[in-house]
Structure 1
Amino acid sequence: MKSYYKKALILLLINYITCTQVTAQNNEVNWLSFNQLEDSLAVKPKKVFIHFYADWCVLCNKMERKTYKDSTVINILNKEYYAVKMNVESTEKITFGGNTYENKNAKKVNSIHQIPLLMASRKNKPFSLPATVILDENFIATARYFQFLNSKQLLKTIQ
């Protein structure tokens, strides 16, 4: 009986993910949280697109208004990737891959959560936004960008 319930739960999750992505394909990127990403990857491995931002980041906000509103960008991200968007100043504790990550300096101005520091830092350079990380189906980084990307530039990276 347990096997039946497990299969039913997996089918429901696949159906939910598929329906959510089809609905979102029409007008917006189907952004996931890291918790949703881990669940989705367990059901169906897929490439991952991560956009790190902060509310005060002018170029991040411009990407939200322009780049992520382009219908071709929306369709490709929703169809071929799990798209994750994370505020680098988040104070949320996130458990991913069996580890818990947090913003250890949350009470300081412009603090940065451990996940973006881990995934979008560069050696001998300060952390900068906007930061985009693209991972393959095995969760291995294939590209990192630390700049504003317009829709044309982004399409070159995700197609």
Structure 2
Amino acid sequence: MLVSLFCLMTLPMVQSQQKEVKWMSFEQLENALAAEPRRVLVDFYADWCAYCRKMDEAAFRDPEVVAALNTKYYAVRMNVETRDTIYFSGVQYVNREAGNKRNPVHEIPLMLASRAGEPFTLPAVVLLDESFQVRRRYFEYLSPERMRNILR
């Protein structure tokens, strides 16, 4: 009885800690994967992408989605237009299009979220397994319900 009461009292605290996705960078991901392999969700976005913002406001704030991403996945978010140099797995990645195009796309999203014969589009969500192998790619708005189903 005491254990049940304790669980009921602490449940709101646990749920309140799960209000936001714990996003990480690729550099943080490399260290996390070395310590504990997990599935990975990568959310590629741009500030101008309306559907990316809509997913941020809906799908990535859904309590079930937040809980799944924070406990079963590593969640990485990357602005595709970043000019940052990113080191991952001993390789340097840059935005070679910066300064040459209106909406320059960094090498990492081009590598992970490109489709043969199709231009790069947003939103782009990539799911990888524990070995960092791409398992699924989504190039559309994902509702909270669809995101919950994908993460199950």
For the aligned pair, the TM-score class normalised by the smaller chain equals 0.7 to 0.9
Percent of matched pairs sharing the same residue:
46
Moved more, 126-135 or 104-113: 104-113
Unaligned runs of 5+ in 2: 1-13
Q: TM-score with structure 1 length normalisation?
A: 0.84
2:18 aligns with 26
Q: Which ranges of 4 or more aligned residues in structure 1 deviate by more than 3 Å?
A: 22-25
Secondary structure of the structure 1 residue equivalent to 2:75: strand
- Residue 120, structure 1, aligned to residue 113, structure 2: yes
**Rg (Cα) greater in structure:** 2
Q: What is the 5 A alignment of 1:78-89?
A: 78-89=70-81
Give the whole-Å Cα distance in 2 for the aligned partners of 1:55 and 1:64: 11
Q: State whether residues 124 and 138 of structure 2, in contact with CA within 8 Å, keep that contact through their aligned partners in structure 1.
A: yes
Report how many aligned residue pairs link the two structures: 138
- Residue 136, structure 1, aligned to residue 147, structure 2: no
Residue 97 of structure 1 is aligned with which of 79, 89, 105?
89
Q: What is the 5 A alignment of 1:103-114?
A: 103-107=95-99, 108-114=101-107
Q: What is the 5 A alignment of 1:42-53?
A: 42-53=34-45
Q: What's the CA shift for 1:25?
A: 4.6
1:76 aligns with 68
Secondary structure of the structure 1 residue equivalent to 2:121: coil
Secondary structure of the structure 2 residue equivalent to 1:86: strand
Question: RMSD across aligned C-alpha pairs, in angstroms?
Answer: 1.4
2:150 aligns with 157
Q: What's the CA shift for 1:24?
A: 8.3
1:64 aligns with 56
Q: TM-score with structure 2 length normalisation?
A: 0.88
Q: What's the CA shift for 1:42?
A: 0.8
